[in-house]
Structure formats: C-alpha cells, structure tokens
Amino acid sequence: MKIISRRKLIQLSLLGGIASALGSRSSFGKVLALMPTPNETEGPFYPVKDQNDKDADLTQIEGHRGVAQGQHIIVSGQVQDITGHPVANAVLDIWQADANGRYRHPRDPNPAKPDTNFGSSGKCVLVSQKCMLK
C-alpha cells in the first residue's frame, strides 16, 4: 500500500482549494476535479471479521427486525478515471461507527453499547457506474 507524504497531501489540498475557488466551469477546475484521489491507509478500526450481510445498506441487517439508531443518510457518487469516464465494476468498501460512535472492532476503546442493528461495514459494486450507500 502506497503512503502519501504530508507535503503531497498539502499540495493536493491547496490545488483542490484553488479548483473550488475557480469553480467547476473553468478548464483548470475541471482538470483538477479529475486528479486521482490520493491513496489512503485503512483506518484504525477497519473491520477484522467479515459479516454475513455486507451490502450497501448499513441501517438494516438481514434477519434483524430492528433498524439502526441515529440519523440515516444516503451517500451517492460515482467513480471516474482521470479522463472523466465512469469506472465499471469498481468496489466501494465502507465502514462506519454506529450512532453511539462505536466501531465493531475489538480495539475500539469507546465504552458505549454497540447498536446491534447497525451493519458496521458494507460493499457496493458499481455495475452501472452508480452506487448508493444507505
């Protein structure tokens, strides 16, 4: 896994800020919008055990009657290559803390009770270039 340097991250952040200031209509802004996303490291609480129900809906676990606590949001987007074309069959791997701020991970120091109706991680395959995570 490639680690991005702090200096490179600051440079990319500054370029992103310039692109935002110029707006998406300028040529420079469009080029910067297509820059590759920097590689990221796995977060400190990436799931260590796979769960059976690993889909795009973290608010409902298969076989559970209840739904996750907290405010439910829908995240949407698309994956594009550096020329702006959609990337088919891209896999989005997500993980999230529950409404109590608790990750389903043995090293999470949060003493809060975990939400047993919250699917802490999921995957979505972009077959039609779009994926919605709920």
Q: In this structure, are residues 94 and 121 in contact, taking their beta carbons and an 8 Å threshold?
A: yes
**pTM of the full structure:** 0.62
Q: How confident is residue 42, by pLDDT bands cut at 50, 70 and 90?
A: low
Alpha-carbon distance 44 to 105, whole Å?
9
Cα–Cα distance measured from residue 92 to residue 56, given in angstroms and rounded to the nearest whole number: 9
* Cβ-based neighbours of 120, under 8 Å, separated by 6 or more: 47, 51, 58, 95, 96, 97, 98, 103, 104
Backbone phi and psi for residue 19, each to the nearest 5 degrees, phi listed first:
-60, -40
| pLDDT tens sequence across 71-103 | 998 887 778 888 888 888 888 888 889 999 999
| pLDDT(26) > 70 | no
pLDDT at 123: 85
pLDDT in tens, 45-56: 878 887 788 888
